[in-house]
Amino acid sequence: MRIADFALERYFARWEFAVEYLLCASDVEAYPMADLLRLADPEARRLWDDLRLGYTESTGHPLLRAEIAGLYERVEPDDVLVFAGAEEAIFCLMSTMLGPGDHAVVTWPGYQSLYEVGRAGGADITLHELHEADRCALDEERLIASLTPATKLVVVNAPHNPTGMLPTRAEWARLTDALSDRGIHLLADEVYRELEVDENDRLVAGADAYPRGISLGVMSKSYAMAGLRIGWLATRDRELLDRCARFKDYTTICSAAPSEILALIGLRARDRVLARSLRIVGDNLSALDDFFARRADRFAWVRPRGGSIGFPRLVGVGSVDDFSAALVNAQGVLLLPGSQFGHPGNHFRIGFGRENLPRALARLDAFLDGPRPS
Ligand SMILES: Cc1ncc(COP(=O)(O)O)c(C=O)c1O
């Protein structure tokens, strides 16, 4: 298989562990393992203490799948398949579902694997572009109009990376009804779910919406545990899930035994874990509101409706690529220019899941107030 480079991941490979301030990370400040173990209930603690480092069940630990199923209204443990992060789930699903002659529609700009894997497999991909002029809203009527008889899959990431877009419940219902009527699968990439700015805006999960809806979840973002590399697909379409399981035999076969138990502990204590994440992103979003209000001459800002990232635009002279390169050199603060999404609009991704965001913004302020390069 030949596949284009994953531009964003290559950019992070170069910079992530080399800079002081990662002002474009998408995950929430990593949860300390010692704190997590203190949240374990007696059963999970016993599983951890007695853990043996053998292969694990290829579909995922039964208790973990039960815990994941409990996140949804209409999902049974057998409707869940555990993967090494959301990324493996995307790779297996797209490889299983899409090939030559198939068509898929994917929200864009977006996480590259959501369209690149299907493209590499020979499928025809329509990118559903979100526009700043529409406050980055999903245009479900335009999306529905782009469906063709060959459309097998629609992919919507919400809350969205990188814009923070979240459809209204009414828009979501119109889209899921249209897809259900046409027998088209929906992959709802919900890795930022539960980080909605207003929890009343939380959408019906993809797996709950209709039988061909698929939810993609992960421990990395809202649950602040990217290092576990535990993600999952949940869908009532068991035949599809079975095909994904057969594909996974060629990738990781099964999950890491310690990670499964730690994910179980994290999900069983999810109220505490999420409260911490919501506090961090809530405080940081307020700091960003202040920053962008003060700096309205330099940045256009569509406030995210959920998640831990947004997609502001640099206004005035200069390209955001040059701006970002100068900023990281001068102040050790990393932004992610829109060009890494293949997006031409002088936008950049800003992440607000890290606790050092106020210090990173102070550095950005200093940079903006400093001498301009001649
Ligand atoms: C929208 C989206 N989907 C999937 C992923 C992959 O998640 P993970 O790295 O935890 O596998 C990411 C990671 O940034 C993402 O932003």
pLDDT digits (tens, 9 = 90+) for 225-240: 999 999 999 999 999 9
Is the pLDDT at 373 greater than 80? The verdict is no
Mean pLDDT of 18-29: 97
pLDDT tens-digit profile of 84-96? 999 999 999 999 9
Mean pLDDT of 144-162: 98
- Pocket test of ligand 1: the residue of 27, 28, 87 to mutate, having most ligand atoms within 8 Å of its CB, is 87
Nearest partner of 165 among 119, 132, 143, 212, judged by Cα: 132
Distances (CA, A) of 240 to 1, 61, 246, 252, 294: 22, 20, 10, 18, 50
- Pocket test of ligand 1: the residue of 22, 220, 340 to mutate, having most ligand atoms within 8 Å of its CB, is 220
Q: C-alpha 79: how far from its chain's center?
A: 21
pLDDT of the residue at 316: 87
Is the pLDDT at 371 greater than 90? The verdict is no
pTM over 0.95: yes
The angle that helices 85-97 and 238-248 make with each other, rounded to 10 degrees, is: 110
**Which atom, in ligand 1's list, is nearest to the CA of 26?**
14
* Angle, vertex CA 164, rays to CA 158 and CA 167, nearest 5: 45
Q: How confident is the model at residue 372 (pLDDT cuts 50, 70, 90)?
A: low
Q: How far is the CA of 161 from the centre of ligand 1 (A)?
A: 9
- Pocket test of ligand 1: the residue of 88, 94, 112, 161 to mutate, having most ligand atoms within 8 Å of its CB, is 161
**Which atom, in ligand 1's list, is nearest to the CA of 226?**
10
Which amino acid appears at position 369 of this protein? Answer: D
Is the pLDDT at 132 greater than 60? The verdict is yes
Mean pLDDT of 35-55: 98
Nearest residue (CA) to ligand 1, atom 2: 111
Is the pLDDT at 141 greater than 70? The verdict is yes
The secondary structure of residue 271, as a DSSP letter, is H
- Phi, psi values for residue 83, rounded to 5°: -130, 175
pLDDT tens-digit profile of 165-199? 999 999 999 999 999 999 999 999 999 999 999 99
CB 164, CB 136: distance < 8 Å: yes
Q: What is the mean pLDDT of the chain?
A: 97
pLDDT of the residue at 374: 42
- Phi, psi values for residue 15, rounded to 5°: -110, -30
Alpha-helix residue ranges (DSSP H) falling in the chain: 7-15, 33-38, 42-49, 62-69, 85-97, 113-120, 140-145, 169-182, 206-209, 238-248, 257-268, 270-294, 320-331, 357-369
Percent of the chain residues past pLDDT 90, beyond the cut:
98
